[in-house]
Amino acid sequence: MALDADATLGDAGEFGLISELVEIFEGDEQVLVGPGDDAAVLRIKHGHVVVSTDLMVEGRHFRRDWASATDVGHRAAAQNLSDINAMGGTARHLTIGLAAPADLPVAWALDFARGFAEECASVGATVVGGDVTRADEIVIAVTVLGQCYQSPVLRSGAQPGDVLAVTGRQGWAAGGLAVLGRGFRSPRVLVEAYRRPEPPYTAGRQAAEAGATALIDVSDGLLAEARHLAEASGVAIDVRTGTFEIPEPLQAVGAALGADPLQFILGGGDDHALLATFPDLASVPTGWHVVGEVTEGEGVTVDGGTYEGPTGWTHF
């Protein structure tokens, strides 16, 4: 049915909204049954199936006055696609659950869907189903299914003697969030990095094929993710700050806010960079930057000692 441009979700109803959303998402050759039935049916040709689920809650993970609906769609897709990337895999199919107030404009939901579809298309992934319901605030739940052509790379494989390396932008989204939190919109490049992250989507499979021993995406903070690797692998990790180049926009924000710009790199998330361990320097692929080392022991240190700054996002 045709909806007025200013229609709300309450005007459209559940099935009216679904019919509009289905038009935005296209299938692929692996989708035998897509949106519209009780469940999707997929064909998996070979390899391993990898699955991940993430939530986004309005006011906790995004604000509508800080990011457009299209931006939120890109962000919601990116954080899920990155989880498959962090297993050394490629995302293939996703489902979306959307809970929202009845007075939310339909246009917001459709713009969100378009942003989500655009981000998925950048890696060749498609949306195959989902659900919508009423809630007091917007809640987005996404499940992504991907494929690994080799054994998935886990967090638990790091060994003493490995090197720690990162790829992708790191600290940019955190800088943008700090700017928005102070009521500013500049430097624009950092604000846009927060609104629409640019994960290194091809780097996960690249790392797996290069022999990465452990792999994780930086969604909550570089030091926080390094700690996950250390704990899962039963090793110690030391991060060396002298290996990082601090981009000029982060230097500018640090100066304006009276903060050490390094804290955005070490404690910032939402860029969805990848952090990995490799057996030696020779095995580190092009585009990756060595930032530390793995040793016997436990925990994470910075330049050989305790780090007193923020190490990452905590959910509770």
SS3 category, 235: coil
The average pLDDT across 41-51 equals 75
The average pLDDT across 21-46 equals 68
Same domain, 121 and 209: no
Same domain, 259 and 165: yes
The average pLDDT across 34-42 equals 61
Query: Is 260 inside a domain boundary?
Result: yes
Final residue in a domain of this structure, among 88, 117, 148: 148
Binding site as annotated, residues for ATP: 130-131, 155, 219
Query: Is 102 inside a domain boundary?
Result: yes
Query: Is 171 inside a domain boundary?
Result: yes
pLDDT tens digit string along 261-288?
999 999 999 999 999 999 999 999 999 9
The average pLDDT across 22-30 equals 73
Tell me the H-state helices in the chain: 9-22, 69-85, 106-121, 172-181, 188-195, 203-210, 222-233, 248-257, 262-267
SS3 category, 236: strand
pLDDT tens digit string along 231-254?
999 999 999 999 999 999 999 999
Same domain, 95 and 214: no
Binding site as annotated, residues for substrate: 61, 270, 313
pLDDT at 19 over 80: no
Average pLDDT across the chain, whole number: 91
Query: Which domain, by its residues, includes 267?
Result: 155-302
Confidence (pLDDT) at 30: 73
pLDDT tens digit string along 115-160?
999 999 999 999 999 999 999 999 999 999 998 888 899 999 999 9
Give the span between the Cα atoms of 15 and 128, in whole angstroms: 16
Dihedral angle sign, alpha carbons of residues 302, 308, 311, 314: positive
Same domain, 135 and 200: no
What is the CATH classification number for the domain harbouring 268? 3.90.650.10
Same domain, 119 and 209: no
Same domain, 165 and 137: no
> Does an H or E element contain 302, and which?
strand 299-302
Final residue in a domain of this structure, among 148, 178, 206: 148
Same domain, 121 and 14: yes
> What is the phi/psi pair of residue 67, to 5°?
-145, 145
Binding site as annotated, residues for Mg(2+): 38, 52-54, 83, 131, 217, 220
Binding site as annotated, residues: 38, 52-54, 61, 83, 130-131, 155, 217, 219-220, 270, 313
Final residue in a domain of this structure, among 109, 132, 148: 148
Q: How many domains does the chain have?
A: 2
Residue 123 is classified by DSSP as T
Confidence (pLDDT) at 14: 65
Pairing mode of beta strands 236-239, 163-167: unpaired
Q: Do the Cβ atoms of 153 and 88 come closer than 8 Å?
A: yes
